[in-house]
Every structure is written in C-alpha cells, then in structure tokens.
C-alpha cells in the first residue's frame, strides 16, 4: 500500500472515532475503551480487507466479521454506518427505546451484523462453524473475528481454539485486541493469559504480534494469512485502550464511559487535533 | 408392529440417515457422542458431513450456529444434560437469539440413564429450553413418532430441541399416524378425565388408561409430543369438555409439560389438574423401571393417583 492509501484509511479511522463520539453523545454512555482501541483493526477490515457489499449484505460470497467482544459494538456500528450499510443518522438512536443499535449487537435489527454477541466467549466457535461451512462449499470467503483480551479467560474460547485447529480452518483469522485492561484492572492481574502467543501456538494456531494501531501492518499481515498452511491464524494486536482520547487513554475507568460534558468537549478537541495533523500530512503529499 | 420394542437411539440414527440421503445440507456434529447416538452409520455413509469435536458441548453449539449461517442443517446429538443444561447460554444466544436452523437432540434423557445418577439424568431440559423464544421442543413417545419427529424437525426451519430415551420402548402407533409438530394426538377419547402424557413415559400413560377403562373410568388419552409450541387448541378444548387434566412426564413437575399446560389453562380455562412427575429433589439411581416406580410413574400407580384425584371433589 502506498502512503496516500494509508493516510486515507487513517482519515477514515478518524471518522469512525467521530462516529463513536456521536454514539456516546446519543446514549450518554457506552463501552468506549475497547471500541476505540480496535478502531484501526475494524477500519482495515471494512475499508480494505473485507469482501462485502453494503447493498447486498447477505451476499453468500462475502467475508464474515464476527465481533466476539460484543461490547465493542460502538466501533462496529460506527464502521458499518461509514461503510454505507445503514444511514449514519441511526447512530443518534443509541440508548433509545427499541433502537436498532443495542448495547450489544443484534443481527436481526440491522444489515451487516453477522452475529448476536455480548456474552463473552461465543464468537470464536460461531466463526469456526462459519469457516467450516464455507470450506464445505469451497468458498473463497474468509471469517474474521475480533476478540478482547479480557474475554480470553472464558474457557469456551479454548474449546473453539482446539476445534478450529483440529479442523484446519485456515480461512479463519482472529484478532485479539490486546489493550491489556478489563473492567476490574490490568488483564494480566485479573486473570493472566501470558504468554499469550505461546498459548495460541500450543493450541495449533499460527501467531503474529503486531501494533494494532498501524493500519499498514494490520493489512499487510492479514494479506499473508494463512501464516502457515493448514492452520488458523491469530493476530495479537497490541493496542491502547481508549486510543484517541487524551484523558482516557490507558485508563481502566474508561472501559465504560459515562460522558461528562467537559470530557465530551475535550474528546472533540482531541479528535480535532488528530484531524489537523492528518490534514497537514495529506497536504504535504498532495491529497 | 404395535408393542414391538425398539431402540430409540437406533431409530433416531436411522431417521437422520434417511433424511440425509435426500437433504445434502444435513451435517452431524459429535461431542464424542455420535456412536452413542445411533449415528455411527451416518459417519460411515457421509464422512465428509460428519464433524467430531470431542467433549466440548459449548463449542459444538457455537460451531453448529456458524454452520447454519452457511445453509447447513446441523444435527447435534449427545447425552441430554450436556446439550441443554451445560451449554444453556450457547443454546439461548447462538441458536435461539440468532434463530439458527440447528437440531439439538438430547438422548438418554429423562431417567433413562437410570443408575448413572443425577449428573446424567435430564429432568429439567424441557423447563429450561422452553424458556428460549422460538425454539421448538419435541418429546416423542414411541419409535414411530421419533422417526416422524426427525423428519418434521429437519423440514421445520428454526432451532429445535428433541429428547429421546435410551432403553428400548414399545411401538404405540401405526406407521401411518398423522404426526405434525405442535399438534397433539388424541390416542383415545373419553369423558371422565384427560390423561396427557409425553415422551418416554407415554407408554405408561397408555397402560394407566387401559387400567382405568377396566375400572369404568372413561379417559381421553392425549400424546403431547411437541411441548413447544403447545397445542393450545387441543388443551383448551379438552379443558372445556372434560374439566379434569392429569399430566404424566419423566421430568421435574417444575417447568415441564404440566406447567406448560397450567400456564394456558390457569389463565384461559381453569380446571382441576394433577401433575405426575418428579418433585423438587434430585432423582435417585437404580434400575429404570424401579426408578419410575419410586416416582409414581408406573401404570398402576398413575391409575391409583387418578382415581384418588377423581374422588377428591
């Protein structure tokens, strides 16, 4: 990818962060920390990697995206709206009675949502079933999963990890958003998963560790998957929780954010600053 | 042939194999459970449509959900408590909430894993699974209806739970019995009391009805093989016409067939009811017929309970 393409994607990531703020403004609160830490992963997927068609969301040949960590739904809604799966104004209904965008995603309410997640430890096995079914159909489609790192304490994930490797699901690509924090504190203090790469390897997966905010790295690594023949791939993406909000980055208390007005103001300023920097870069390269 | 004893698991497996011959979307998932579920022949005939997972029922339900999104019709059969109570959240979220076309079959259900004890009994599965919106719950009472239920649940689009037993059970119906999901079968008409049975103890209800008739009690005998959706029409017309209902099930009284019927009758046509089943305690262990006797589920015991019920005005 050239630098122009990367910069355009960075600008899209900013728009997704703005959409996340829009959701929080509507609902007054939400799981913002893990949504913001995974913005680049989701941007790379929906604006580069995923073979999807917003005008035909059930297209059988599409790639699938399973948000196993359903509480990160703000980033999914933000990206789907930006990608044209539904009108951006739907984001303003967040928190309202009967809103099509609940606090955890519901596939029956909006196009583009593949699974009903929210209870942790479900997504990987559902995605494994999708990958198995697609392989039976000799489909070229891939299945992508986004998991949280706190979620990895759920034992059901490791059932699914065993099965995906036993069944050689090389069309399955998992991102672990390793932002290292969960609601009670640092994940390795709450329930350690380290050494995480060795753990996945021991389950028969092919593992890479990348900077989860580096769009170029995310895309180039995914394009090399499967990393090993006959194995499912996992990308451990090191990220910063609440990435983009100066007052919240790396703070456990922003796992779920009840936005105070002054914080919302600061959040807008933070994103304005990111925009200024991006625009300056874009000007320099003639975008 | 009526009264011939047949193995429910073998019957189930044969029906799945038969359905899979014409429906190529059927896949079988095993949690180290296919051979014990009558599905060994499926593995032999369709190895490319059979997936082994080992003992991971939570994972299997999730995989089944994902497979269903690609148009497959997963059939997952294993020991009943391990496909219901253990992966309940996966059943609720991945199958129910996602409305996936998956067929879960709990075998060796009820008390049929007699001496293996309470971890292996499944006398709460109807109660818990019928709370999940959109899930069809089927509890056939003889080999003929097991076979018909398999075909009906494959034809039905949506999540299903079916329970079957383990021990050989008598044929109660002719091959051409009219079986439709959600429609009870009136096995015999009568006017003094309605006796409604389901599943593995349907034959005991049949036996009790015969004994009652010998004593001059006229029994309307009904097989409710589909617990959900319940046949409201038949339940309400029976309540109105007869006014006395006795239910018989190899299940906790809490949340089972009797509860489901009472939920309708208490609100729309209150009638006297007696529910025969297992109370609020873990069932004991021992030979199956003796266990049923311990819980009042043998025909002569059901008959006595009904006679007392009818005398108690």
The secondary structure of B236-251 as a DSSP string is HHHHHHH-EEEEEEEE
Residues B113, B240, single domain; the answer is no
Q: Decide if B51 and A167 are in contact by the 8 Å CB cutoff.
A: yes
- For residue B3, pLDDT over 80 is answered with yes
* Structural domain includes residue B177: no
* Structural domain includes residue B179: no
Residues B95, B228, single domain; the answer is no
pLDDT value of position B313: 62
Across the range B115-120, mean pLDDT stands at: 96
Which residues, other chains included, contact B187 with Cβ-Cβ below 8 Å and sequence gap of 6+? B172, B206, B209, B221, B222, B223
Residues B67, B134, single domain; the answer is yes
Q: Strand A206-211's sheet: what is its strand order?
A: A64-67, A143-148, A172-178, A233-238, A206-211
**How far apart are alpha carbons A24 and A258 in whole angstroms?**
8
Nearest CB neighbour to A107, from listed B70, B74, B98: B98
Q: Does residue B46 sit at the A interface (CB-CB below 8 Å)?
A: no
Closest-CA residue to A77 (of A87, A64, A63, A62): A87
Phi, psi (degrees; rounded to nearest 5) at A280: -65, -45
pLDDT value of position B152: 98
Read off the pLDDT of residues B168-223 as tens digits, 9 standing for 90 and up: 999 999 999 999 999 999 999 999 999 999 999 999 999 999 999 999 999 999 99
Which chain B residue shows the shortest CA-CA distance from A60?
B70
In this prediction, does ipTM exceed 0.90? yes
User: Please, are residues B261 and B247 in contact by the beta-carbon 8 Å criterion?
Assistant: yes
pLDDT value of position A278: 97
pLDDT value of position B172: 98
Domain boundaries, chain A: 3-284
Q: Does residue A105 sit at the B interface (CB-CB below 8 Å)?
A: no
Neighbours of B92 (CB within 10 A): 20
What is the value of pTM for the model shown?
A: 0.97
Nearest CB neighbour to B62, from listed A108, A122, A143: A122
How close B79 comes to chain A (CA, Å)? 18
Residues B198, B92, single domain; the answer is no
How many structural domains is chain B composed of? 2
Tell me the pLDDT of chain A (287 aa) as tens digits: 899 999 999 999 999 999 999 999 999 999 999 999 999 999 999 999 999 999 999 999 999 999 999 999 999 999 999 999 999 999 999 999 999 999 999 999 999 999 999 999 999 999 999 999 999 999 999 999 999 999 999 999 999 999 999 999 999 999 999 999 999 999 999 999 999 999 999 999 999 999 999 999 999 999 999 999 999 999 999 999 999 999 999 999 999 999 999 999 999 999 999 999 999 999 999 88
How close B159 comes to chain A (CA, Å)? 15
* Structural domain includes residue B231: yes
Which residues, other chains included, contact B224 with Cβ-Cβ below 8 Å and sequence gap of 6+? B139, B184, B196, B197, B198, B230, B231, B257, B261
**Token duo for residue B249:** 């099930």
Which residues, other chains included, contact B145 with Cβ-Cβ below 8 Å and sequence gap of 6+? B172, B173, B177, B179, B223, B225
pLDDT value of position A287: 85
Kindly state the DSSP code that residue A150 receives in the 8-state scheme: G
User: Please, are residues A74 and A27 in contact by the beta-carbon 8 Å criterion?
Assistant: no
Domain of B135, CATH number, reads 3.40.50.970
Residues B259, B295, single domain; the answer is yes
Q: What does the angle CA B148 – CA B152 – CA B156 come to, to the nearest 5 degrees?
A: 175
Residues B149, B31, single domain; the answer is yes
* Structural domain includes residue B72: yes
Among the candidates B135, B170, B205, a domain finishes at: B170
**How far apart are alpha carbons A2 and A237 in whole angstroms?**
22
Class of domain A3-284: alpha beta
Neighbours of A184 (CB within 10 A): 12
Closest-CA residue to A173 (of A150, A194, A198, A143): A143
Domain of B193, CATH number, reads 3.40.50.920
Domain housing B216: 185-311
Reported confidence tier of residue B144, pLDDT bands at 50, 70, 90 = very high
Which residues, other chains included, contact B146 with Cβ-Cβ below 8 Å and sequence gap of 6+? B8, B11, B12, B15, B140, B164
How close A276 comes to chain B (CA, Å)? 43
* Structural domain includes residue B175: no
- For residue B117, pLDDT over 80 is answered with yes
Read off the pLDDT of residues B191-202 as tens digits, 9 standing for 90 and up: 999 999 999 999
Read off the pLDDT of residues B29-88 as tens digits, 9 standing for 90 and up: 999 999 999 999 999 999 999 999 999 999 999 999 999 999 999 999 999 999 999 999
Q: Decide if A116 and B98 are in contact by the 8 Å CB cutoff.
A: yes
List of E strands, B7-121: 26-30, 50-52, 73-79, 103-107
Which chain B residue shows the shortest CA-CA distance from A134?
B70
Residues B119, B239, single domain; the answer is no
């Amino acid at each position: 990818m050239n630098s122009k393409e990367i910069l355009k994607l960075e600008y899209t990531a900013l728009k997704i962060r703005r959409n996340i703020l829009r959701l929080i403004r509507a609902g007054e609160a939400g799981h913002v920390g893990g949504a913001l830490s995974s913005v680049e992963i989701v941007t790379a997927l929906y604006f580069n990697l995923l073979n999807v068609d917003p005008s035909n969301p059930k297209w059988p040949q599409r790639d699938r995206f399973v948000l196993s960590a359903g509480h990160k739904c703000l980033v999914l809604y933000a990206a789907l709206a930006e990608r044209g799966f539904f009108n951006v104004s739907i984001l303003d209904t967040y928190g309202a009675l009967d809103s099509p965008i609940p606090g955890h995603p519901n596939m029956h309410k909006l196009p583009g949502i593949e699974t009903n997640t929210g209870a942790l430890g479900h997504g990987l096995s559902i995605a494994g079933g999708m990958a198995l079914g697609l392989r039976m159909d000799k489909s070229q489609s891939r299945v992508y999963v986004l998991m949280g790192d706190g979620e990895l304490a759920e034992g059901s994930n490791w059932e699914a990890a065993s099965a995906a490797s036993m069944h050689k699901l090389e069309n399955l690509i998992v991102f672990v958003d390793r932002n290292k924090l969960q609601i009670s504190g640092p994940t390795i203090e709450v329930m350690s998963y380290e050494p995480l790469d060795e753990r996945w390897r021991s389950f028969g997966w092919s593992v890479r560790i990348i900077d989860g905010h580096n769009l170029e790295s995310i895309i180039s690594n995914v394009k090399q998957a499967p990393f090993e023949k006959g194995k499912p791939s996992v990308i451990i993406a090191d990220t910063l929780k609440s990435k983009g909000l100066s007052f919240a980055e790396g703070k456990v208390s922003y796992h779920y954010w009840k936005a105070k007005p002054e914080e919302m103001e600061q959040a807008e300023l933070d994103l304005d600053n990111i925009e200024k920097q991006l625009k300056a870069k874009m000007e320099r390269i003639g975008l | 042939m009526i009264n011939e004893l047949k193995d429910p698991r073998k019957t189930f497996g044969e029906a799945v194999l038969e359905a899979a011959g014409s429906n190529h979307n059927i896949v079988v998932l095993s949690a180290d459970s296919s051979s014990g579920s009558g599905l060994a022949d499926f593995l032999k005939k369709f190895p490319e449509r059979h997936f082994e997972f080992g003992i991971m029922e939570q994972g299997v339900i999730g995989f089944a959900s994902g497979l269903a999104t690609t148009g497959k019709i997963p059939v997952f059969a294993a020991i009943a408590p391990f496909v219901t109570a253990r992966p309940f959240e996966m059943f609720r979220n991945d199958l129910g909430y996602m409305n996936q076309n998956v067929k879960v079959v709990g075998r060796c259900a009820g008390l049929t894993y007699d001496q293996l004890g309470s971890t292996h009994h499944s006398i709460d599965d109807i109660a818990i699974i019928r709370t999940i919106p959109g899930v069809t719950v089927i509890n056939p009472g003889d080999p003929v209806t097991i076979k018909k239920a398999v075909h009906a649940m494959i034809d039905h689009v949506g999540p299903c739970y079916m329970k079957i037993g383990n021990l050989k059970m008598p044929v109660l119906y002719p091959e051409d019995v009219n079986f439709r999901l959600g429609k009870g079968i009136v096995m015999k008409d009568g006017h003094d009391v309605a006796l409604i049975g389901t599943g593995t103890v349907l034959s005991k209800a049949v036996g009790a009805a015969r004994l009652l008739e010998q004593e001059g009690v006229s029994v309307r005998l009904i097989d409710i093989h589909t617990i959900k959706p319940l046949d409201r029409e038949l339940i309400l017309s029976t309540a109105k016409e007869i006014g006395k209902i006795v239910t018989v099930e190899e299940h906790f009284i809490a949340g089972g067939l009797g509860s489901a019927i009472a939920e309708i009758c208490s609100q729309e046509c209150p009638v006297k009811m007696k529910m025969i089943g297992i109370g609020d305690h873990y069932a004991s262990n021992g030979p199956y017929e003796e266990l049923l006797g311990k819980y009042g589920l043998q025909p002569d015991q059901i008959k006595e309970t009904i006679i007392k019920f009818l005398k108690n005005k």
